[in-house]
Chains A and B, each alone.
Chain A
């Protein structure tokens, strides 16, 4: 971090200055990422896919201001807490969800030097903090004093726990292949990885881990509680489930958490399977920090592509039933991922 700012600012930042910049970057990245996805996919792409206009007026160009206007609207709305609700738990639940999203961003590398914290167990950490969100969902559902919310949160708990497993197993293949759990290390491994002697300056792991990539995307879809796995918030059954009683900024927090998680999980998928910020590029670009400038752009492109897949499926499919969802996780996703892990391990040892 300090090295890339050096040529611009002319001095090396102190440790606390770096931390402040990192914190600010994260605090900006999540709302911006969430708003970006919300705008591009939830509004514009969905509107076009569903053959309707969507908001076109605010801001001039294709209603770009609509999302910001929505956010302002949510902030100024009354914050209603039901009379029978458990006040503290009810108030805190959305922030737990958002916090889990914030923590996810810490380990995603966007350039050779651009990572908030290059943990050696980055993947493990990401998956662990990702499941904190379940806690927030459970808190929200229980404290709302609403049967729909309760059922929604219980469904969410069952679903998120069931799909945590295929998510982890899908990552294991990549970890075995790269030999590290550090996210930055996985990107580096993909710079050097090649098969059949085709050295094209690195190869993404999707080439060898395609089944696990599919499983990861399915599990991510379920983790995000998006159709076809949106039973916890099924509006035609449970009237948006655990979010039923929320309003104003707290509701916005849930929304932000959902969109932010979609962004973060797309970024993790892009890092694990598509090479992250790396494209085949000269080693000198990495050495002279040029990759730090184009890395975020490359990653953002990949993230948008992954998010497009997620949202495309979201707008196309109906939702499963709760038992069918569990059956898919336990009967298909987990055995297939275990099988592929085995294949990966054998190949790793053989080559």
Chain B
């Protein structure tokens, strides 16, 4: 990659014309990329670029892999192609505006991104949403989890070459998205959370519809159990591939299902003092001792089932009452610092909010799960084969927006 202002490209050009400079730099960069693709070094291995446009990276992640034959010598992810600077942008927005931004971090489960930020703001303001709002938040949080992880369950198949599961995933995820849309008005980016509660109450008939949708999701999980978990080739491709021991996982900050697949019995839904109502529900944290790609798939599959169980209980026990606490018309958050993290579909997502008492935060540190989850890739892909890179990446499960923020 050539710098836009590197001296080699600017020497012969008119320095007064920035457009010309930029064009020359662009051409030089293209030429460099072409060279990277053509040269076939053999003495120290071949460099292959997986990405930034590559079907396995679902987004613009670039993996620079040095290969010896099909074996990986080193593998370094290179990201930033989608960096949107949310941490900077939050500094020039008000609290209600920021939920719109953070919606876009992990775009498959947008609602789950809003919740920890709103909770952090509420914690600083010292207000608490009414019970119905908390139940609905939990409910939609779990639906967002299904919308996210269900896609993973199918996508893992397509990364390994089985095309069918991903269509089933899209099919059944569609119903979940429909429910999210009818409740929040937003299919992908609900922006439904407000400080002190929620935007509005559920529409009529939503609960009954959601029950049928959950049945479909359970059915989908069983299908995935048959299609992939019970499949010998899937097992051969996933078992023993990308093994991450528990202490390594913690060292790199792996969270969520990736950590639980390494046998770490830790789920923020159960183990943190969240105002959301997970502790009032009957569910189980699944772990797997193996720490390989199969374990990660299996744990996520069980988590979708647990989410379905949770949603059923949440629908049964949904309390009546207001969905909005008393909050000032203009949200001004008192000075202070708050760290709130929740167990998002991809792992621990947290916001470190520093307020100085104005309309917007002084600083927000967004701790997204995928960034840490992917940081283990150079370590875990050493010595594997090229197809295993894909398996490992797929099983670690990242969303580009969640890496790049």
User: Which of A's residues lie within 8 Å of B, judged by CB?
Assistant: 46, 49-52, 83-84, 145-148, 150-151, 227-228, 230-231, 234-239, 315-324
A236 to B395, CA, bound (A): 14
Min CB distance B125 to A, Å, is 46
B171 close to chain A: CB less than 8 A: yes
Contacts of A230 in B (CB 8 A): 161
With beta carbons under 8 angstroms apart, the residue of A84, A146, A236, A321 that contacts B55 is A236
Contacts of A315 in B (CB 8 A): 163-164
A151 to B71, CA, bound (A): 12
Min CB distance B95 to A, Å, is 41
Contacts of B37 in A (CB 8 A): 145-147
CB distance B38 to A84 under 8 Å?
yes
List the A residue with the shortest CB-CB distance to B156. A318
Min CB distance A228 to B, Å, is 5
Contacts of B171 in A (CB 8 A): 51-52
Total CB contacts across the A-B interface at under 8 A:
89
With beta carbons under 8 angstroms apart, the residue of B38, B40, B161 that contacts A319 is B161
Listed by A's residue number, 14 A-B pairs whose Cβ atoms lie within 8 Å are A46-B163, A52-B167, A84-B34, A145-B38, A147-B40, A151-B70, A234-B161, A236-B390, A238-B386, A318-B162, A318-B231, A318-B233, A318-B234, A322-B387
Min CB distance B400 to A, Å, is 16
B246 close to chain A: CB less than 8 A: no
Contacts of A84 in B (CB 8 A): 34, 38
CB distance A317 to B231 under 8 Å?
yes
Min CB distance B153 to A, Å, is 13
The 5 A-B residue pairs with the shortest CB-CB distance, nearest first, are A319-B161, A318-B160, A318-B162, A50-B167, A318-B161
CB distance B158 to A317 under 8 Å?
no
Contacts of B163 in A (CB 8 A): 46, 50, 227, 315
A231 to B171, CA, bound (A): 27
CB distance B233 to A320 under 8 Å?
yes
CB distance B233 to A317 under 8 Å?
yes
B48 close to chain A: CB less than 8 A: yes
A50 to B167, CA, bound (A): 6
A238 to B390, CA, bound (A): 10
With beta carbons under 8 angstroms apart, the residue of B48, B70, B231 that contacts A322 is B70
Within 8 A of A (CB), among B158-188: 158-164, 167-168, 171
The digit string for B130-171, where 1 denotes a CB below 8 A from any CB of A, is 000000000000000000000000000111111110011001
CB distance A228 to B48 under 8 Å?
no
B388 close to chain A: CB less than 8 A: yes
Contacts of A324 in B (CB 8 A): 236-237
Contacts of B55 in A (CB 8 A): 235-236, 239
A319 to B233, CA, bound (A): 7
Say whether, besides A50-B163, A236-B158, A319-B161, A147 and B388 are in contact (CB < 8 Å).
Answer: no
CB distance A150 to B40 under 8 Å?
yes
Contacts of B339 in A (CB 8 A): none
A323 to B388, CA, bound (A): 11
B46 close to chain A: CB less than 8 A: yes
CB distance A321 to B385 under 8 Å?
yes
A231 to B391, CA, bound (A): 14
Q: Which of A84, A231, A317, A323: most chain B Cβ within 10 A?
A: A317
B227 close to chain A: CB less than 8 A: yes
CB distance B385 to A322 under 8 Å?
yes
Min CB distance A100 to B, Å, is 24
The digit string for B25-55, where 1 denotes a CB below 8 A from any CB of A, is 0000000001001101000001010000011
